[in-house]
Structure 1
Amino acid sequence: MAAQSGKDMLLKLDQTGAGSFLTVAGLRTRSLAFNASSVDTTDQESAGRWRELLAGGGIKRASVSGSGIFKDGASDAVIRGLFFGGTIRNWQLIIPDFGSVTGPFQIVALEFSADHAGEVTFELALESAGEMVFAVI
């Protein structure tokens, strides 16, 4: 696989819950992490006292983070409203030459910062709140 431009990794939000995804504007960085906890089934009869794990056990989760600048008051208001409302919405992350991951997320962190001579920036963190769907694109 050839190198990909970071600007092609997009975070999209279903703003109204109607299934119409809009790109969250102003993001400069984005990341996606998948995690799965393991279930230890080791007992006194485990071969060589090696740890044994339960296949398919444990909890899976996805985390998304991003940072950037707000492009307009409307996008700022939507993100702020979702955070303060504790609202769960469907989000979609497009990863070039990999696919898309879509599912319900909640904004669990929202930070604003500014430099005296620069623009106001924000950082947000999303945690999965249900099943993720992967699609090859």
Structure 2
Amino acid sequence: MAAQKGKDLLLKLDADGNGNFVSVAGLRSKRLAFNSQTVDVTDSESAGRWRELLGGAGVQRAALSGAGIFKDAPSDAAVRERFFAGAVSRWQVAIPSFGVVEGPFQVSSLEYSGAHDAELTFEIALESAGALSFTVMP
């Protein structure tokens, strides 16, 4: 796979709950991480005392974070309202030449900052709140 432009990773929100995803922010930096806990089933009879793991038993999660500027006032409001309500909403992350991750996320952190001679910026963190789907991009 050839190098990809980081700016092409998009964050979208299903703002109306009807599957109509819209871009909510101009993220300048983004990170999507997948994690899976392991379940250790090692016992005194494990071969050579090597650790054994139980496949498919751990908790999986995804964490998304980014920093940038909001696209417009309604986008800022949509994200801010979800944070203060503790709402779980459907989000979509498009990863160029890879695929689209979609599912429920909760905004776990929202930070605003700005300098007197620059634009207002924000940092956001989202945590998965249920099963995610992955669709391969052609």
For Structure 1 versus Structure 2, the TM-score category normalised by the shorter chain is over 0.9
Q: What does 1:1-137 align with in structure 2 at a 5 Å threshold?
A: 1-137=1-137
**Following the alignment from structure 1 to structure 2, what is the Cα–Cα distance between the partners of residues 102 and 26?**
19
Q: Partner of 2:107: helix, strand, or coil?
A: strand
Aligned-residue offset at 1:116: 2.4
In structure 2, how many angstroms separate the alpha carbons of the residues matched to 1:128 and 1:90? 10
Q: Deviations over 1:77-135 (max 9, x none)?
A: 11110000111111010001110100000000000111222111100000000001000
TM-score by length of 2: 0.96
Runs of 4 or more consecutive aligned structure 1 residues displaced over 4 Å after TM superposition? none
Find the aligned partners of 1:94 and 1:73 in 2 and give their Cα distance. 23
AA aligned opposite 1:5:
K
The normalised TM-score by structure 1 is: 0.97
1:42, 1:70 → 2: CA distance?
49
How many angstroms does 1:33 deviate by? 0.3
- Partners of 1:44 and 1:91 in 2: how far apart? 45
Task: Report the AA paired with residue 96 of structure 1.
Answer: P
How many angstroms does 1:71 deviate by? 3.0
Q: Distance in 2 between matches of 1:17 and 1:111?
A: 25
Question: Quick one: which amino acid aligns to residue 20 of structure 2?
Answer: S
- Consecutive unaligned residues of structure 2, counting only runs of 5 or more, are none
- In structure 1, what residue type is equivalent to 2:30? R
What do the CA deviations read for 1:40-94 (whole angstroms, capped 9, x no partner)? 0000000111100001111000000111112321111111100001111110100
C-alpha RMSD over aligned residues: 0.9
Q: Structure 1 vs Structure 2: percent identity of aligned residues?
A: 61
Matched to 2:6, the amino acid is G
Which residue type is aligned with residue 134 of structure 2?
A: F
The one-letter amino acid of 1:48's match is G
Number of aligned pairs?
137
Could you tell me how far apart the structure 2 residues matched to 1:25 and 1:123 are? 11
